[in-house]
Amino acid sequence: MENNYIGNIIFYERSRRNLAVADVCRGLCDRSVYSRIENGSYKGEIHLIIAVLQRLGISGSKVGRYLCRDEYDEMDFRFEILEYIKSYQLDEAKDALAEYSDRYCKGSILNTQFAEYMEARINEINGNLERALDLYKKAAAYTVADYSTCSSFVCISVYEYFMIANVARLTARFGNSKKALSLYGKLLSYCKNPDNEKWNTTCMYAKTICEMMEIKTPQMMGNYERQKWLEECDAALRILRDTSRLHFLCPLLKNKKSLTELLGMAPDKQWDDFLMHYERLRKCSLSIPSDRSDGITRYKFGISGELLEWYPYYIDCAFYPVEKLIDERRRLHGVTIEELADGICTSETVSRIINRRVSPKYSTVAALLDKLGLKGVLRQQVIVSEDLEAHKLWSALARCEDMNDSVTAKEIYEKMNNILDCSLKINRMVLEYQRIKLFEHSIDSRQLAHKYETILGVPIKNIMKCTYFTDIEIMLINQYFNCLDRISDYSMLEAYEKLCMTYVKMGKKNKVFASEYEGILVRCANYAGNAGNFKKSNEYADMGIMLELECERMHALSTMLYCIPWNNQHAGKSITDEDIEFCECAYQIAFYIRNNKRMELYKNMIQNMKAKR
């Protein structure tokens, strides 16, 4: 089943959209290779599969998160290069890129494309714009050779989008606005394709609009055109809000404001207030009282500009070395190397795999994981299913929870119960987890915590022995500690904080795991604050705010902003202007993600703080 997972999803979506094989694989691989991917006889390398999925409008995250040694090391090397460029350590980036090219580019079009794209970015930062444009063009042409001459884009990946958009941007910079707008126009049409998942479109749509309006500004337009662009801005804004993303939000809102004024419409005070607070949060240094000797802790987020063009391809695209997962679970369950190897391969082979001396075959890894009770984990995205409809149902279920719609959620749960393969432990855990959340509200928190621990299958104290968890395991762990928080039991908090430290120790690489890390940080901030450790709570909140702003996400941002003034008040400190500012920022973020309940909470907090000043 695992071998067919990606192939079945790709075949289903290609057929549904009535796309030819050539449309999907052109420039990426031979038709014969693509056919083998669809029929499940070839797994495909990671960048190829992500590109194919994204060309079909599907999030590349469906490829799974566990990679064998060679693919993991190559992906890790890419991230290192990206981080050097993002921090403008260009000499280090050049050296790393040269090594990457020597090790990975021979015989690989996709790796060569990446290397030349990074070289283009380095040249652009250094001011060598002509050379940068030539390299952007060359990089794009590797997989979309006709990008400048085709009438429209039938299917392109997110990564290909960024390359072509960079060509358009620098083309405009050199004065050829007509050609640049032609390229952007094709990209904009592609962004509006309703078949594309919002997770793929969210950054692309906003970026395209903002960069097109740099070429032809609202002041250069007539009212008819201004109204059309205002509608485009609103459409892009809706997608950003739906996905809780912040990509190109400042220029998007400034364009929206300019268009509104030029059309003679009344100003939108809510959006104007949001933009003011959001820009201050990104760029300014806010401060709060602390226990330090100088009495002040300064929170310097210092976020300027927009997310680098190629960065969303990697942020929150979490990958783990599968060999370490195998070794951790073997040790957790007390399985010897000999017992694990029995019936699969030699014990010497298993030893070499878990010590990362060899990159194992996919089939060997799958067999080892099956034996450890992790069947399907290589292709899990919370659930394990080759049916794309099951993944859509899961997304809809999550949306229902956000909206507190238990009626529809229960209907979706029943459908999932009929679709998912319950012979897989991961799926059984997901369904049991959801059943408890939907149908067992009357059980007290301690009993609920015990139920979640039972589904997890290991004592909570043992999570300190692990680094890598499946999606459903993280969800169960989070629910366990949520239950204990409700009864003010923090006796096991050390285990949860140890889980958080796993991400802290990753340094810059923790951004790759943003969706997991942000959830753990916000809970650590809440739990530590509720337990009375206000200083530690502020530290967690500070890390969480920085993570969200750097990754241009806002799933947990409002909660972490609110956490700081809440801690300060409960610590008995006097109310400061900065406390009120944090809470006002939290209110604006809650407005952005349409969370009326939190808006009311923060509004009351602001009023109470101002009344006490």
The pLDDT tens digits for 287-342 are 444 444 444 454 566 666 665 555 555 666 778 899 999 999 999 999 999 999 99
Greater confidence (221 vs 283) lies with: 221
More reliable by pLDDT, 39 or 168 = 168
- Residue 293: its pLDDT value, please? 45
For position 9, what pLDDT does the model report? Answer: 85
Contacts 24+ apart (CB under 8 A), 433-439: 433/472, 433/475, 433/476, 433/479, 434/397, 437/401, 437/479, 438/406, 438/409, 438/410, 438/413, 439/410
Give pTM, 2 decimals: 0.89
Q: Are 161 and 54 in contact (CB under 8 A)?
A: no
Euclidean distance between CA atoms 37 and 49, whole angstroms:
9
Radius of gyration (C-alpha) of the chain in whole angstroms: 25
Query: Which string of DSSP letters, residue by residue, matches 153-175?
Result: -S---HHHHHHHHHHHHHHHHTT
Give the per-residue pLDDT at 399: 85
More confident position, 302 or 123: 123
Residue 484 is predicted with a pLDDT of 96
Average pLDDT score over the chain: 90
pLDDT at 288: 45
Percent of the chain with pLDDT over 70: 94
Reported as a single tens digit per residue, the pLDDT across 53-63 is: 999 988 877 77
- Does pLDDT of 237 surpass 90? yes
pLDDT band for 199, please (50, 70, 90 cuts). Answer: confident
β-strands 296-300, 285-289: how paired? antiparallel
Cβ–Cβ under 8 Å, residues 612 and 578: no
4-8, 138-142, 536-540: the lowest-pLDDT one: 4-8
DSSP conformation letters of 2-56: HHHHHHHHHHHHHHHTT--HHHHHTTTS-HHHHHHHHHTS----HHHHHHHHHHT
Which pLDDT belongs to residue 311? 59
CB neighbour list of residue 427: distance below 8 Å, 6 or more residues apart: 376, 383, 384, 385, 420, 421
Q: How far is CA 53 from CA 196, 381, 466, 495, in A?
A: 10, 14, 31, 37
Task: Give the whole-angstrom CA distance, residue 174 versus residue 169.
Answer: 9
Q: What pLDDT sits at residue 1?
A: 39
Q: Average pLDDT of 594-604?
A: 95
Q: What average pLDDT score do residues 583-596 get?
A: 95
**pLDDT on residue 34:** 94
- Position 294 scores a pLDDT of 44
- Report pLDDT for 267: 94
3-state secondary structure of 415: helix
Q: What are residue 289's phi and psi, to 5 degrees?
A: -60, 150
SS3 label, residue 195: coil
**What pLDDT digit, counting tens, does each position of 442-499 carry?**
889 999 999 999 999 999 999 998 988 999 999 999 999 999 999 999 999 999 999 9
Asked whether the beta carbons of 466 and 328 are under 8 A apart, the reply is: yes
pLDDT at 613: 79
Please indicate whether residue 583 or residue 298 has the higher confidence score (pLDDT).
Answer: 583
Task: Work out the angle at residue 548's Cα, subtended by the Cα atoms of residues 546 and 549, and round it to the nearest 5 degrees.
Answer: 65
pLDDT confidence of residue 314: 61
Tally of CB atoms within 10 A around 346: 12
DSSP secondary structure code for residue 216 in this structure: S
Q: Is the pLDDT of residue 69 over 80?
A: yes
Query: CA 547, CA 550: separation in Å to the nearest integer?
Result: 5
**Token pair in block for residue 225:** 């055109």
Dist. CA 583–CA 564, nearest whole Å:
8
Task: Read off the pLDDT of residues 355-405 as tens digits, 9 standing for 90 and up.
Answer: 999 999 888 999 999 999 999 888 788 998 877 788 889 989 988 987 889
Which residues are within 8 A (CB) of 464 and not within 5 positions of it... i.e. 6 or more apart?
494, 495, 498, 499
Domains and CATH numbers, the chain: 268-305+490-613 (1.25.40), 374-460 (no CATH)
What backbone torsions phi and psi does residue 145 show, to the nearest 5 degrees? -60, -30
CA-based nearest residue to 229, from 201, 255, 196: 255
Length of the chain: 613
Grade residue 284 by pLDDT with cuts at 50, 70 and 90.
low
pLDDT tens for each residue of 396-427: 998 898 788 999 999 999 999 999 999 999 99
Q: Provide mean pLDDT across the span 183-202.
A: 91
Q: pLDDT tens digits, residue range 559-577?
A: 999 999 999 999 999 999 8
Mean pLDDT of 207-221: 96
How far apart, in whole angstroms, are the C-alpha atoms of residue 504 and residue 521?
Answer: 10
Residue-level pLDDT at 316: 60
The pLDDT, as a whole number, for residue 550 is 86
CB contact at 8 A, 583 and 606: yes
How much of the chain exceeds pLDDT 90, in percent? 73
Cβ neighbours of residue 278 closer than 8 Å, sequence gap 6 or more: 246, 249, 250, 585, 588, 589
First to last CA, the chain: 63
